[in-house]
Amino acid sequence: MLIRPLEASDRKAVQAMLAGCGAFSEEEVTVALEIFDSGEMAHFGAEVEGILCGYVCLEPVALTRSTWHVYWLCVDASCQRRGVATALMRQAAEFARSKGGERLVVETSGRLDYERARRFYERVGFRQVGRIADYYKPGDDCVYYCKLLD
């Protein structure tokens, strides 16, 4: 597996990964592509056998000294359960750390079909720090996680 920064020319692959992940609504895919196009966040992709099959994006949180927000983590369904998300999150943590980051924050859904995502965050060192009921929509809570970097 090769982890590398994404470039503008990877846009089609990003779109394919978002669609292939199966977790995101059309609106979420649109927002993720807007974020990619803006060039404002750091994006890293994972290549398996030369094909991009997942990516992560993150940025430092304004008005904080050393907190980074991981906005998007996406792995194509065909490549799941192969350690891609773990490798991407390790890269995100190392990148933030290299820029002085001391913690990563993620927001994810409390829905039943996000159970695997939440377990993933806990497995790679995140701890639940908050929850807002019905945040995304009725029955769809926001769960906040934080991971300390060392």
Residue the block writes with tokens 């996000």: 114
Give the shortest CB-143-to-its own copies separation in angstroms.
Answer: 9
In the complex with its own copies, which residue's Cβ is closer, 51 or 129? 129
Residue the block writes with tokens 């927001």: 107
Give the shortest CB-26-to-its own copies separation in angstroms.
Answer: 11
In the complex with its own copies, which residue's Cβ is closer, 120 or 135? 135
In the complex with its own copies, which residue's Cβ is closer, 123 or 131? 131
118's enclosing H/E stretch is helix 115-123
Q: Return the closest-CA partner of residue 32 out of 70, 80, 61, 68.
A: 70
Give the shortest CB-54-to-its own copies separation in angstroms.
Answer: 20
In the complex with its own copies, which residue's Cβ is closer, 2 or 37? 37
Give the shortest CB-106-to-its own copies separation in angstroms.
Answer: 11
Positions in the binding site for its own copies (CB under 8 A):
27-28, 31, 61-67, 102-103, 105, 129-138, 144, 146
Tell me if 76 sits within 8 A of 61, measured CB to CB.
no
Tell me if 136 sits within 8 A of 116, measured CB to CB.
no
Give the shortest CB-30-to-its own copies separation in angstroms.
Answer: 10
Angle in degrees, CA 7, 13, 15, rounded to 5: 105
100: left (phi over 0), alpha (psi -120 to 50) or beta: left
Tell me if 72 sits within 8 A of 56, measured CB to CB.
yes
In the complex with its own copies, which residue's Cβ is closer, 61 or 124? 61
